Chains A and B, each alone.
Chain A
Amino acid sequence: MIQSADFSVEEEIAKMKAISSRMGGIVTFLGTARDFSKGHDVVKLTFEHYSKMAEQAMLKIRESALEQFSIIDVMMIHRIGEIGIGENIVLIVVGAEHRQDAFTACAWCIDELKKTVPIWKREETPDGQIWVEERP
């Protein structure tokens, strides 16, 4: 899901837990806005996306993760628009019977999101705005 509103990690985990009582491990990745990046200060972030394509790419990651890992479910949210330092950017929640599968799938999903979802970050720095293009 792509949205400008913030999300609650607790609520998203609660939704994940509600899916199955077989769930033994939930691994979560939360990406937040840092005040420093590659040697310069950052004051604020703005995320832009190619709406339809980004939604499709997120769905594809979910389907592919469910196919290739022994997990029960995976949920992804990415925020767009203006995001202040310390605020939430992205959340990935993976529920599995066993923790190793959840760790592997969660790390894979965030890597894949960065590679395949058309979302772009603009950093506002004391010296102006920078569109970030490297994959961290």
Chain B
Amino acid sequence: MNKMVLEAGDTAFVLICTAMVMLMTPAVGLFYGGMVRNKNIISMIALSFISLAIVTIQWVTIGYTLSFGHDIGGLIGGLDYIGLKGVGMDGDGIPDILFMAFQLVFAAIALAILTSGVAERIKLSSFIVFGLLWTTLVYDPLAHWAWGGGWAHSMGALDFAGGTVVHISSGFGALALSFVIGKRIGFGKYSMEPENITTTLLGGALLWFGWFAFNAGSALAADGLAANAFVVTLISAASGALTWMGASWIKGKPSSLGMISGAIAGLVAITPACGFVGPLESIIIGGSAGILCYGTLLFRIHKKFDESLDAWAIHGVGGLFGALATGVFAVAAIGGVDGLIYGNVGQFIIQGIDAFVAVGYSFVMTYILAKIIDKTIGLRVTEEEEYVGLDVAQHGESMEL
């Protein structure tokens, strides 16, 4: 880390990875859009694009410096890079400005994932205000803790590609948000089946594609570590797809939605671990995540939580599991750190502390922010708007099917 020269191969890699991760944000929109009733499909996809747009502006003005500015008390970054001041075209291996962009697209997707909790009932204007606050007050601190020199980083917590920062934050945030905004009208009484599964599968395919960039790109270099991250990502996704499908097959028919949800669960769980574990561990991690997240989904339905599109079950619980699994399965030969099964109890405890603090922080802060928005400008559309659907009510548009 003391060469100050650009490496074209690494730069090429991270440039393309950044574009691929950017594509994941609309992909979240497609993935979610296929799962809502047709009257809300445009709204659901648009929320992802809007997440990308507002987080982009937030990040280049204030977000990047809050996350990666000089550390203040382990908690937040200073304002050194405000408005990207001093973030230039040169850098160490890759251009600084590229590192900034790579981090930006992570922040964008976190917000997009969060929309699961408010699907089919959020007021667009309130979402924009909420989104800016959430990124600033929830995401940015978490990014700083893990990657910007904050306390978690100092403590030695491992989060290779953002299991804690991106997935725990958005998953548990979505749960909090769903509690504040309340259930959809008719939830549990009306049928609210996914109406456009091919759109969800398309979104899932693009997510899977982009996830290679998300995980392998986090090596920030085109090297063996990136290749390892790539491979375990692929394996974990496959493993999760098969176990979720298998588990649901026992109860009924194996839906394609279960299969793709399992793949996403596997992808989430391997995210923090992908720089620290090898292929065989990734079969276990992905496979366990598939079953665990499927169980969490059943639990959510049983509890009648309307965390509508299961960001909590998949990203929240999957991310939490991944953080702990990293502490269990880490292999020193790959990422330099051993996990619990190699006797390193300390690392497991560190992972636990890191993950549960993130769970608590993101749940509580999201809850508070959502409450404030709800009490002031109102989070939710009116009953009539919900009835006609957000496509028409919020965007004045509809699909002609």
Please say whether chains A and B are actual partners in one complex. no
